Structure 1
Amino acid sequence: MEKDKAIGIFDSGLGGLSVLKKLKQELPGENFIFYGDQKHAPYGEKSEEEVRSLSLSAYRFLQEKGVKATVIACNTATSAAAPYLRELFP
C-alpha cells in the first residue's frame, strides 16, 4: 500500500518545482504532491516561530493527503523547522 502513496514536497513558493522535477527524473515510478505556499512567501523575512508554524501547516496539509514521505524544498524552512518537525513527527 505504501508504494501507492505519493511523496509530498513543500516550498515557500515555486522554487521547489526544480526539486520536484529532479525527483520525477530520479523516481519515475512515484507520484508527487507539491505544496507551494506563495501566499506567505518569502519565508526568509519571517521569524523562526512563523516559519515553524507555516511549515507545520504545510506538513499537515500533505499528511491529510496521505503522503508517505515529505520533502522540505525550502532552505529557510529546512533550517528553521526541520528539526522541529522531526521532533513532533519522529
Structure 2
Amino acid sequence: MSLFDHLEELRLRIFYALIAVVLGIIVCFVFVNPIVRLLEVPAQGAKFLQLAPGEYFFVSLKVAGYSGVGQGYRCISLIASEVEVVVVIVVPA
C-alpha cells in the first residue's frame, strides 16, 4: 500500500469513529435522566443543585457528551469478548 492508501484508510476510520461518538452522544442524551440518577447514587440522597436557569440542561449535555464518548469508544475499539471482560470488571466496581 502506498502512503496515500494508508492516509485514506485513516481518514475513513476517523470518520467512522466520529459517527460512533455522535450516535453515542445522541443515545445518551435520550437516556440522560437515568444516567444522572445513577451518578447521584454514590452521593447517598444528595441531589444535584440547579443554581442558574439553564444549568440542568448544560449539565445534561455534559453528562450525555462524556457518556456518549465512552460509548462510542467502546463500540469502535473493543470486540465482543473484550466488552464482556470490561463489563465483568467495571460493573462490580
Output the TM-score relative to the length of structure 1: 0.33
Q: Which has the higher helix share?
A: 2
- Greater C-alpha radius of gyration: 2
Output the TM-score relative to the length of structure 2: 0.32
Q: Which has the higher strand share?
A: 1
